[in-house]
Homo-oligomer: A and B are copies of this chain.
Amino acid sequence: MKSAQGDRLISLAGGLPCPSTFPVEELRAAADRVLRKDGSLALQYTNTEGYAPLRAYVAEYFLKPRGIPADPDCVLLTSGSQQALDLLGKTLIDTYARVLLEAPSYLSAIQAFGLYEPTFLSVPATPGGVTPDALEKAFRQRPRMFYTVPTFQNPTGWTWSQENRTAAARLAQKHDVFLIEDDPYSELSYDEAPPPPLASFSDPAGTVITGTFSKILSPGIRMGWIAAPRHLMDPLVRAKQASDLCSNILTQRILFELLAEFDLLKHIERLRKHYRRKRDRMLEWLDKLMPTDCTWTRPRGGMFVWLTLPPGLSGTRLLRATQAYGVVFAPGRSFYAHGERDDTIRLNFTHSSDSDMADGLRVLAREIQRMPVDI
């Protein structure tokens, strides 16, 4: 995150949305209305679960249309979906519990869960998701839970096929493994729509799905959510109470005030168009600039391209080289729980301007070609 904030830096590192897409004026007007009509309540302590109308909105617009059992009482609003991961770690991970991750998996999930000291197991991610064979083998090691980003995954951009989703749901129930489906990107789909979420057909008592307003509206307001089975709500709410008592009610109310008058679907259409063009731009530049022994993913949504370096090159060392020219990205190593591979890097295409993106990729391509191979 720090790299992505510096002054004279070209950053392909973070997962930052493009600030030109934020509905600034609409949020300003919403803030104005909330503080004029309901200021005292919007500035007081509130309940831990979150603002009831906003929980109902999440159920109505994010769960129901996608076939997920939609009870507002089972929605917990969180400080971004990062807090959702932390609360799940707090609630589900005892010391030495086994947590199964895709390899690679989302860096900040590894960090969030890691603080509760589980034993991490991993199962290889593939372009179509985790295969049933690999998953069953991994489930036989008796993980307590399986964390996955099945749609436009961070970091790879890959999306699980319908077949792999169906198999995973069946296997999780068979082996009694808790499914955690992290779903921040499914609205950001640039070609055909992704398959339905795992949570729409897996065992409801053994599945959690998390989402966020960060990627479609604004990350600065820190508003994410968990939809959990009823039996998990009490422990999650207790964990949140111990973590921060309650979420920021001022921004909960501003967000709800915005949503009441805002055409979110139309906004998401605009985002798709904007990011589709950026994704295409990045893929064009990569085709043009990268040496032939590099390979990379061609994501149908989300925010990232995952690039595999020529044999023998290290993403960590490459970062040191490009950093000297003010260009940063996320080395792939940190997306593995045990840092087991260092030959990949993650590139973000949503945040930088076209010219920064091109300049950054030029430096990257040059440094890849310059770098001595590690034998």
Contacts and interface: CB of A to CB of B under 8 A. Distances in A.
Nearest to A35: B28
Nearest to A20: B40
Contacts of A40: 19-20, 22, 24
A47 B239 contact: no
Interface stretch (A106-114, A197-205, A357-365): A106-114
A44 interface: yes
A266 interface: no
Interface stretch (A75-83, A186-194, A316-324): A75-83
A41 interface: yes
A158 to B, nearest CB: 23
A28 B39 contact: yes
Nearest to A241: B111
Contacts of A332: none
B46 A220 contact: yes
A244 B28 contact: no
A61 interface: no
Contacts of A241: 1, 108, 111
A88 to B, nearest CB: 12
Given A95-B95, A246-B1, A32 B42 contact: no
Contact of A31 (B31, B79, B247): B31
A104 to B, nearest CB: 18
A46 B114 CA distance: 23
Interface stretch (A139-147, A248-256, A276-284, A338-346): A248-256
Contacts of A20: 40
A2 to B, nearest CB: 6
Contact of A112 (B5, B25, B242): B242
A315 B219 CA distance: 44
A115 B22 CA distance: 37
A19 B45 contact: no
Interface of A: 1-2, 4-5, 14, 16-17, 19-20, 22, 24-25, 27-28, 31-32, 35-36, 39-48, 79-80, 82-83, 86, 90, 95, 108, 111-112, 114-115, 214, 218-222, 238-239, 241-251
